[in-house]
Amino acid sequence: GQQLNQSPQSMFIQEGEDVSMNCTSSSIFNTWLWYKQDPGEGPVLLIALYKAGELTSNGRLTAQFGITRKDSFLNISASIPSDVGIYFCAGLAYSGAGSYQLTFGKGTKLSVIP
């Protein structure tokens, strides 16, 4: 099946620093999604990317859909303590007859040091 390689696995950064994480795959996806998960909660969608090469921002977050459709990155600028959490990338692939397959990366755990 499809697999996503998400890196880094975890990060410790100082408050105010920028953060970058990425996902790569051997498969092509129609949509790339980035989520953040707080402990004990379901993941919350941060950014959705639909077109190869697309660059989308949501506040301090910026994400890009790789031109090959096999990768994506997420940047967080000027990190703050509430950015702490686990960030997941996900690739959505259309599998025919109105069905979709959603594949997740293993997550990047972000810790922000005040």
Partner 1 sequence: GAVVSQHPSWVICKSGTSVKIECRSLDFQATTMFWYRQFPKQSLMLMATSNEGSKATYEQGVEKDKFLINHASLTLSTLTVTSAHPEDSSFYICSASRPGGWLSTEAFFGQGTRLTVV
Length of the chain: 114
Task: Choose the stretch contacting partner 1; rule: CB under 8 A; options: 17-25, 59-67, 73-81, 105-113.
Answer: 105-113
Q: Residue 16 Cβ, how far from partner 1 at the closest point, in Å?
A: 26
Are the C-beta atoms of residues 74 and 86 closer than 8 Å to each other? no
Residue 17 as a binder of partner 1 (CB under 8 A): the answer is: no
Q: How many residues bind partner 1 (CB under 8 A)?
A: 28
| Token reading at 78 | 């000027």
Q: Is 81 helix (H, G, I), strand (E, B) or coil?
A: helix
Decide whether 16 or 50 has the Cβ nearer to partner 1: 50
Which residues pair with residue 60 across a beta bridge? none
Residue 59 as a binder of partner 1 (CB under 8 A): the answer is: no
